[in-house]
Chain A
Amino acid sequence: IQMTQSPSSLSASVGDRVTVTCRASQTISHNLNWYQQKAGKAPKLLIYGASSLQGGVPSRFSGSGSGTDFTLTISSLQPEDFATYYCQQTYGSPRDITFGQGTRLEIK
């Protein structure tokens, strides 16, 4: 299952509302996670099951979608949100687990 994120990079300002899109090559129901990765750090799980917020993650992060099209929204960008974001499908488990190519969110 191929996962395609858009855009590949994005420039935004603190306070902006930002949306990242992830599209699957086939239907994956709600089996979609979102991760944030900062430079030199391990990824951090933000959203699982397409829309469930992982514990400790700020409520400005939200996820939506089902089937083939999904979105990650940050309602009001904070300085600590500038990072790379990855979507991941788990529908193909146990042998086909794939990530999108990543979306780099940069400061404008």
Chain B
Amino acid sequence: EVQLVESGGGLVQPGGSLRLSCAASGFTVSTNYMSWVRQAPGKGLEWVSTIYSGGPTYYADSVKGRFTISRHNSNNTVYLQMNSLRTEDTALYYCARDIGYSGYDWGYWGQGTLVTVSS
């Protein structure tokens, strides 16, 4: 069974950093497209970043240059390093896996981890 469990969220001041983790089970992260999607409180969904099975990484313009997605194959975990955080980065961050169609068809989701950026 595919499972995704996020962790690492919390309260951080503007300009601070945080690293989110997504521990996967039931499949291997290195053979799938893995993504982060966020949802600000009471708002809609926003794609953040994706790491391809072959290694390339992509980012939304709103986080490019500040966030870094990576994976650690030995512990089957995907990370999102978030630097220079802004209040507008406050959101529930979901880890998601594709179903193997286009790479961005997210059929598997974690429960989310909440990031709050506030002074």
Partner-B contacts on A (CB < 8 A):
31, 33, 35, 37, 42-45, 48-49, 52, 54, 86, 88, 90, 93-95, 97-102
**What residues on B are CB-neighbors of A35 within 8 Å?**
45, 106
In the complex, chain B residues 45-97 whose Cβ is within 8 Å of any chain A Cβ: 45-47, 50, 52, 56, 58-61, 94
Whether the Cβ atoms of A42 and B47 lie closer than 8 Å is no
If A42-B94, A42-B111, A42-B112 touch, whether A98 touches B47 (CB-CB below 8 Å) is yes
Q: A45-B105, A102-B45 are in contact. List 16 more A-B contacts (CB 8 A).
A: A42-B111, A43-B37, A43-B45, A43-B94, A48-B101, A49-B101, A90-B102, A90-B103, A93-B103, A94-B103, A95-B58, A97-B104, A99-B45, A99-B46, A99-B47, A101-B44
Whether the Cβ atoms of B50 and A94 lie closer than 8 Å is yes
Whether the Cβ atoms of B104 and A86 lie closer than 8 Å is no
Taken together as a complex, chains A and B put the C-alpha atoms of A63 and B34 apart, in Å, by 25
**What residues on A are CB-neighbors of B110 within 8 Å?**
42
Taken together as a complex, chains A and B put the C-alpha atoms of A33 and B45 apart, in Å, by 13
State how many angstroms separate the Cβ of B27 from the closest Cβ of chain A: 15
Q: Residue on A with the closest CB to B95?
A: A42
Whether the Cβ atoms of B45 and A95 lie closer than 8 Å is no
A33's contact among B44, B58, B105, by CB below 8 Å, is which? B105
A94's contact among B37, B58, B112, by CB below 8 Å, is which? B58
List 9 interface pairs A-B (beta carbons < 8 Å), by A numbering. Answer: A35-B45, A42-B111, A44-B109, A48-B99, A48-B102, A54-B99, A86-B44, A90-B104, A100-B44
State how many angstroms separate the Cβ of B54 from the closest Cβ of chain A: 12
**What residues on A are CB-neighbors of B106 within 8 Å?**
33, 35, 43, 45
Q: Which of B46, B58, B94, B107 has the most chain A CB within a 10 Å cutoff?
A: B107
**What residues on A are CB-neighbors of B50 within 8 Å?**
94, 97
Taken together as a complex, chains A and B put the C-alpha atoms of A48 and B102 apart, in Å, by 9
Whether the Cβ atoms of A42 and B107 lie closer than 8 Å is no
**What residues on B are CB-neighbors of A101 within 8 Å?**
44
Taken together as a complex, chains A and B put the C-alpha atoms of A88 and B59 apart, in Å, by 16
Taken together as a complex, chains A and B put the C-alpha atoms of A43 and B107 apart, in Å, by 9
